[in-house]
A and B are shown apart, each in its own frame.
Chain A
Amino acid sequence: MNKQTALSGKEQRKVLFRLIRYLIPHKKSVAIALLLLILTVTGDVIGPYLIKVFLDDHVAVGNFDTNPIIFLAVSFMVIQILNVVISYFQLVKFQQIALNVVQQIRIDVFSKIHKLGMRYFDSTPAGSIVSRATNDTEAIKDLFVSVLIAYVQATFLITGVYIAMFLLNPLLALFALVLLPIVLLVIFLYRKFSSVVYMTMREKLSQLNAKLSETLSGMNIVQVFRQEERLNEEFNEINDQHYQAMMNNTKLNAVLLRPVIDLVYFVAIILILSFFGITSFDKAVEVGMIYAFITYISRFFDPINQVMERLAFYQQAIVAASRVFELLDDQEIEPAQIESKEQINEGWIEFKDVTFSYDGKTNVLKNISFTVNPGETVALVGHTGSGKSSIINLLMRFYEFEHGDIIIDGKSIKSYSKKELRKKLGLVLQDSFLFYGTIESNIRLFDENLTDQDVVEAAKFVQADHFIEKLPNKYQQKVTERGSTFSSGQRQLIAFARTVAANPKILILDEATAAIDTETEVAIQQSLEKMRKGRTTIAIAHRLSTIQDAEQILVLHQGEIVESGTHQQLLEQKGLYHKMYLLQNGIVEESLAK
């Protein structure tokens, strides 16, 4: 996950500009924040000036008229307090902008994820998709909060300090401009070296963690094969390399970070003292002026230190951002639907010569054709990999197909709106997935049009109410970690209730392979039967007993329909279906007696 891809300077800038474009909707807030920043900087700059006036006009000449001094003291305090208040709001405002920008990026990423086709999910590990939406966007947040804001603040403050210096003494300010290229050079050098040193350190750390995590996962093998010592050596080697990398980073920071900036600061002090010292040989110099310059110069270095310390984040965040944008630009989107008003009323389905392949090489469905009449049930049976699930994947529009067509009520499946399809096609998956929330929220599944009564009715319909009513909190019972507190049968019933509540015209069932606990078995079978009434049903069946009354059974083998008919017809054929039937009923000897 921590794989660092090297980005060229040009690519980095491109990513940065794209990030900055996210600020456009926040123009107003940015303007306010900048205004507050300018006020803060002004306050920062005026303070030392007032002290200068105090020192030069009063202390140095021994003029202690009360009124002007009180005026000075009061204005100093007022400015100080205003400054504190304004800078607080300024800091908060900038953070708010950054957080809002990151939220927008997050929502964009999450919305994009929902637009991606199943192919994307097949080829990308779930963990790395999650990382894109959360960890990588978090890194972008750090970029905005720690780097960009500090950068803007530093730029404004430095500009303000220079303006003040120019107003006080243009010649010295001009001299002080020399500092700028020195500081920029230090920043440039630090960035240049740290990009290598810091990246090496990150790289070593991720190697270290990878080694650790892999060895921990395979510790059993390591121990059985007595390789503990060797792996300790290997680990220590990486550990040493990481240590070296950390040391290099420490050294680099020691050479080029705060210590060197402080050195430049002292050079600046020397410059100021020399300037005023030499000037004083010819004419009088105001002491307060020296004080003001020394204060300004020290203000100048604070933000630079801050920016430098955060430079290391920059590269990391840019790499994270580039990964986020990669996902946002991904073209593997879900199959398109036409936005039409067409409705599915009958539930008549026809597969017309459909051929399909996941990878574009091997066909998992070959010229599949069959028809389902409204209200009838078609069962798909076959061994793992025979193509049953692929038929459902196509019908649910999880994947796009190229050859053949699927017709619903006389029109191609592609000509219905997405909304209509989702409303009229109900799928019950084999692994009944429950979401974090309550039983009610799982049955309702965000559909706010359902009344509480509807939810209860749906649960009753599938006989889930028996066990739900026994729960301490009934329908408000918490569902945690994918419903692990419920048995697989109970989960299945909740999933049924969810489908019943949605009331689809066409029912698609993907029966659970694993044996379901006997307690709920009866309820499940009865509910299935009830649910199928009045609905066109396409069912994947693992247990042939559940589909004996289907109007049509299709037996699939390696992507082709090899047998079809009713249960009785297929048994009489004494083909593959017959064998499967015998196998499931444990009637073995008869089948082997050839």
Chain B
Amino acid sequence: MNVFFKLGWFFKERKKQYLVGLFSLALVALLQLIPPKIIGYTIDEIGQGTLTFASLLMWVGIILITAILIYCLRYFWRLMIFGSSNYMAMRLRKKLFLHFSKMSPSFYQNRRIGDLMAHATNDVSAVQQTAGGGVLTLFDSITTGTFVILAMAVTIDWRLTLIALIPMPLVAISSTYYGKLLHERFHLAQSAFSDLNDKTQESITGIKVIKTFGQQNEDIDDFKRLSSEVVSKNMKVARVDSLFDPTISLVIGISFILSLGFGAKFITEQTMTIGDLVAFNTYLGLLVWPMLAFGMLFNIMERGSASYDRIESLLSIPVEIDDKPNAIDQRPNGDLLFHVKEFKFPGDEKASLRDVSFELKRGETLGIVGKTGSGKTAILKLLLREFEGYKGDIIFGDNRIDEYRKLRLLEAIGYVPQDHFLFSTSVYNNIAFTNPGVESKEVEYAARLAHIHDDILRFSEGYQTIVGERGVSLSGGQKQRISIARALMSNPELLILDDSLSAVDAKTEEAILEALKEERQDKTTIITSHRLSAIQHAHLIIVMNEGAIVEKGTHDQLMELKGKYYEMYNLQQLEQLVEKGGEVHE
């Protein structure tokens, strides 16, 4: 029951709709009492031979009007109550999405997208069910139940009512019991199904191994076994599920025979008419639904409550990195100073950065090299304020980066990530991501700088080609170059390329670097790369290893040092040779 309190705010917000809806519902419950009564009267008049054409017309007219009224009111309450529950779903989704968009990367690190999706779909629809079907079931079963019982007791015969009601609680009890049983068994069936799903997934991923060992038939047998398991678990569900209808008709049957027997007795005693008995039996039929509903209600509420709690706990996670009070509302520009004594990712034991410091004048280019996990990306994540809590200072222009409004800081940065993520919209929209309304001239300009313009023109729809599954499938290099064009669109003060040239060939890489140099003479650029050719031209190169800077200088200085950088450089030269097929003397 307390789930309805938890949703109180929503009911208050939609007070009008719910009141109108529930009022209509109550009216329907009342109006429903009329036809059985009329049927009873008509039968009595027929039986006594007192029916006239006029009275028949009246009775029939009353039923017709009642029926039409019921129809309209039913339409109305459905619109109000189910409409509100639809609205609820919409509201919750909106809230969740807004919240998701405020969460920082550490939030996403600990959670799987699939789970977040499940909250926004399954949990939301469970709450929707509660706000719609749940409210309806609770209210309707109470009103209809009460009205029908009152009508039977007051207008027909209270003794007969009591007698006929004796078996009725059995419906509620058994439907609650079956419901619980069904829920448990359904759970088992679901998990058998998910085993089957896993099995299929595994077989398809391991299809080569299975083919290699010629184990197809055995694998199919295994699948048969699991799928028989699914059948047997589902049969267990079916065995409970099939109990509902027969049980109800049994209970109703007993009620019927009781009411008929005693009804006949009362008729002979002349305290009741045959018409009353028929009306009474029709009323009995109306009681089935409220009884049944009461059993189901429990389940709906339980699920809705658990789902709502999950959604609430997700929504209550605070925004991690927010602007300071009086944050500087200005886009930073100028020199970049990076002095970090120590930084650990949340939950990590080991420091990801130790004593990393460098200074970069406006317009200079920094190259960062190092193995995966050496701390390259950590530097960039701090610059982007995706993580905080480091010891030291990062100063961009005149202030520490956390003194700016985050929005302003990010406006000054163009970022090209390692995993070139593109959205499944047109190439144009992907490049113009920061500014969808921008002129095509500017988009093309950025595309030219990133050396992707010619590729785009070759796509079937040019710039309007859709990216991804439903459109063109792009090579890794093309994706990287589109990502670069996207970052260049805002002509950022600081451009960060996070190993974003790895999939383009050497010639294109050179051309892009050349274009960037030309275009961004007074702007700062940071490039991380495995391939040294991408950072060779930088004003400053730092070599990272296990979170610390091991070498620092220009390309020439580092070559002279004959250290790690020098070693890497030579190795890569040779690698290139092998890739080309070893033709040294070209």
Residues of chain A having any CB pair with chain B under 8 Å: 47, 51, 54-55, 58-60, 62, 64, 73, 76-77, 80-81, 83-85, 87-88, 91-92, 95-96, 99-100, 103, 106-107, 110-111, 113-115, 118, 121, 126, 129-130, 133-134, 138, 141, 208-210, 212-228, 230-232, 235-236, 239-240, 242-243, 246-247, 250-251, 253-255, 258-260, 262-263, 266-267, 269-270, 273-274, 276-278, 280-281, 284-285, 287, 290-291, 294, 298, 334, 383, 396, 398, 418-419, 421-423, 425-427, 429, 433, 435-436, 445-447, 482, 498, 502, 557-558, 562, 575-576, 578-580, 582-583, 586, 588-589, 591-592, 594
Contact = CB atoms under 8 A, between A and B. Distances in A.
A113 B246 CA distance: 42
A242 B86 CA distance: 9
A285 B204 contact: no
A175 to B, nearest CB: 14
A239 B90 contact: yes
B97 A266 contact: no
Contact of A73 (B104, B197, B261, B407): B261
Given A259-B74, A294-B282, A121 B228 contact: no
A357 to B, nearest CB: 19
Interface in B276-306: 277-278, 281-282, 285
B213 A92 contact: no
B75 A254 contact: yes
B493 to A, nearest CB: 14
A592 B46 contact: no
20 contacts: A64-B268, A73-B257, A84-B250, A114-B207, A130-B197, A138-B193, A220-B421, A239-B94, A243-B90, A246-B86, A254-B74, A259-B75, A263-B68, A277-B59, A287-B43, A291-B43, A435-B206, A576-B581, A576-B582, A583-B574
Nearest to A288: B274
B227 to A, nearest CB: 5
Interface pairs A-B: 8 shortest CB-CB: A422-B214, A446-B218, A576-B582, A266-B67, A91-B242, A95-B238, A254-B78, A259-B74
A114 B278 contact: no
B139 interface: no
Interface string B98-119: 1011111100100001001100
Nearest to A228: B101
B47 interface: yes
B236 to A, nearest CB: 11
B550 interface: no
A363 B197 CA distance: 37
Nearest to A56: B274
Taking each of A221, A228, A291, A446, which has the highest tally of chain B beta carbons within 10 Å of its own beta carbon? A221
A274 B56 contact: yes
A216 B212 contact: no
Taking each of B75, B103, B238, B579, which has the highest tally of chain A beta carbons within 10 Å of its own beta carbon? B238
B249 A83 contact: yes
A130 B264 CA distance: 63
B384 interface: yes
A588 B568 CA distance: 10
Contacts of A445: 209, 213, 215, 218
Contacts of A592: 570, 573-574
A14 B117 CA distance: 36
A503 to B, nearest CB: 12
A51 B49 contact: no
Given A121-B204, A235-B97, A253-B78, A216 B220 contact: no
B201 interface: yes
B581 A96 contact: no
Label chain B's interface by main secondary structure.
Answer: helix
A433 B206 contact: yes
A138 B190 CA distance: 11
B575 interface: yes
A88 B242 contact: yes
B204 A126 contact: yes
A396 B213 CA distance: 10
Contact of A103 (B42, B231, B423): B231
B434 A227 contact: yes
Contact of B79 (A85, A210, A254, A262): A254
A87 to B, nearest CB: 5
Given A232-B101, A266-B64, A274-B60, 13 more contacts: A54-B260, A87-B245, A107-B227, A110-B200, A219-B108, A226-B434, A227-B433, A250-B82, A260-B71, A263-B68, A396-B211, A421-B214, A435-B206
Given A73-B261, A218-B421, A60 B567 contact: no
B249 A84 contact: yes
Interface of B: 35, 39, 42-43, 46-47, 49, 51, 53, 56, 59-60, 63-64, 66-68, 70-71, 74-75, 78-79, 82-83, 86-87, 89-90, 93-94, 97-98, 100-105, 108, 113, 116-117, 120-121, 193, 196-216, 218-224, 227-228, 230-231, 234-235, 238-239, 241-243, 245-247, 249-250, 253, 256-257, 260-261, 263-264, 267-268, 274-275, 277-278, 281-282, 285, 384, 386, 407, 410-411, 413, 415, 417, 421, 423-424, 433-434, 436, 486, 567, 570-571, 573-575, 577-579, 581-582, 584-585
Contacts of A208: 93
Given A214-B423, A218-B423, A228 B264 contact: no
Contacts of A266: 35, 63-64, 66-67, 70
Given A277-B42, A294-B39, A287 B47 contact: yes
Contacts of A447: 213, 215, 218
A543 B38 CA distance: 93
Contacts of B281: 291
B278 A231 contact: no
A580 B51 contact: no
A394 B242 CA distance: 54
Contacts of A59: 263-264, 267-268, 274, 277
Nearest to B232: A99
Contacts of A421: 214
Contacts of B434: 225-227
Nearest to B490: A225
A290 B46 contact: yes
Contact of A418 (B97, B214, B260): B214
A121 B207 contact: yes
B101 A80 contact: no
Nearest to B103: A219
Taking each of A60, A64, A291, which has the highest tally of chain B beta carbons within 10 Å of its own beta carbon? A291
Contacts of B206: 433, 435
B285 to A, nearest CB: 7
Contacts of B413: 224
A446 B219 contact: yes
Given A87-B246, A583-B574, A592-B570, A290 B220 contact: no
A247 B250 contact: no
Nearest to A397: B211
Given A216-B116, A576-B578, A92 B239 contact: yes
Contacts of A583: 571, 574-575, 578
A110 B74 contact: no
Contacts of B94: 235-236, 239
B35 A269 contact: yes
A433 B67 CA distance: 66
A171 B215 CA distance: 68
Contact of B200 (A134, A260, A269, A285): A134
A232 B42 contact: no
Given A107-B227, A216-B100, A114 B235 contact: no
A579 B212 contact: no
A213 B410 CA distance: 24
A274 B512 CA distance: 88
Contacts of B436: 230
Contacts of B202: 435-436, 482
Given A87-B246, A103-B230, A294-B278, A278 B56 contact: yes
Nearest to A266: B67
Given A134-B197, A224-B413, A262-B70, A60 B581 contact: no
